[in-house]
Chain A
Amino acid sequence: MRARVLIRPKAGILDPQGIAVERALPALGFAGVSNVHVGRLVELDVEDGAQLDDMCRRLLANPLIEDYEIVGRPEAERWSQDAGPDAPRSSLT
């Protein structure tokens, strides 16, 4: 399945990135903006979607400081940098 994981700072944890963005918007003339939060987006293809929750808890998010939400995405959708499953991926090590 093609999945999308939305990762956000946990409610109640100070989010200085959100605050910085919230303060910057009025400088551009945008009024009435509040509750800005900045998180992270992970998109991935997985053979077994049942493993996604475990992946989130153990690596993609740090449950101590972050909440995550797993959402599906259409099979046909392409990430702009997605070179396809057969493209070579260099190893981290």
Chain B
Amino acid sequence: VKFGVIRFPGSCDDVDAQRAASRVGEAVLLWHADRGLQDVDAVVVPGGFSYGDYLRVGAIARFAPVMEDGIAFAREGGPVLGICNGFQVLCEAGLLPGALLPNTSLRFLCKQVGLTVASAETAWTRACSLDEPLSIPVKHTTGRYYAPEPVLDELEASGRVVFRYAPGENPNGSLRDIAGVANPAGNVVGLMPHPEHAVDPLTGSEDGLKLFESVVPALA
């Protein structure tokens, strides 16, 4: 499996994402101003501060040339994972429902959190089991998941809530403890926690590898 990790000006977790993906397959970087996805099998939109997060977090990155191909790839069913700023970008691009608001505390958070897998049916969670606990770090200022109540009801009813913060561990005020969601087809997933920072016991957890393994048929 060949992963492509998009690099915007202001991305800062692109190299970690590439390194994490290369544990389970080949991984290349895709420059924001280039066209074409180099025949990758899966796309990761990494964390950071794309285009300085000017205007709103994630608002400008969706206009990058590479994102035109990324959005088309997602609409054709290709696996796309948005992590942190990447999640914000996918919401702004309309590939995922909702938006990310400033943390209730208004503080930058950097901590290990417990997550629960709420759907093991998506392209990025097939290697997980339902209700499986994962330990993965968060680091963000704008991570409070928000969508109108009817949208939240629909997401829950259709199994599109993919990750929840473990009971009592919601760090940012996200509605219904939602840490990650999927599109209707389950090929596009976004989450605020950083699986790419949890791929080695040296840093406390390798639970994040499961997301990358999920898109490798032999490992899922």
Contact = CB atoms under 8 A, between A and B. Distances in A.
B55 A13 contact: no
Contacts of A93: 32-33
B103 interface: yes
A92 B51 CA distance: 8
Interface in A70-85: none
Interface string A56-93: 00011010110000000000000000000000000011
Contact of B99 (A16, A59, A65): A65
Contacts of B98: 64
Contacts of B158: none
Interface residues of A, number: 12
Contacts of A14: 101, 104, 144, 173
B99 A64 contact: yes
A59 to B, nearest CB: 7
Interface residues on B, range: 20 to 34
Interface string A35-56: 0000000000000000000000
B218 interface: no
A60 B101 contact: no
Interface of A: 13-14, 16-17, 20, 59-60, 62, 64-65, 92-93
23 contacts: A13-B101, A14-B104, A14-B173, A16-B102, A16-B103, A16-B104, A16-B105, A16-B106, A17-B102, A17-B106, A20-B106, A59-B55, A59-B59, A62-B56, A62-B99, A64-B98, A64-B99, A64-B146, A64-B147, A64-B148, A92-B9, A93-B32, A93-B33
Given A60-B55, A93-B32, 13 more contacts: A14-B104, A14-B173, A16-B102, A16-B103, A16-B104, A17-B106, A59-B55, A62-B92, A62-B99, A64-B146, A65-B99, A65-B146, A92-B51
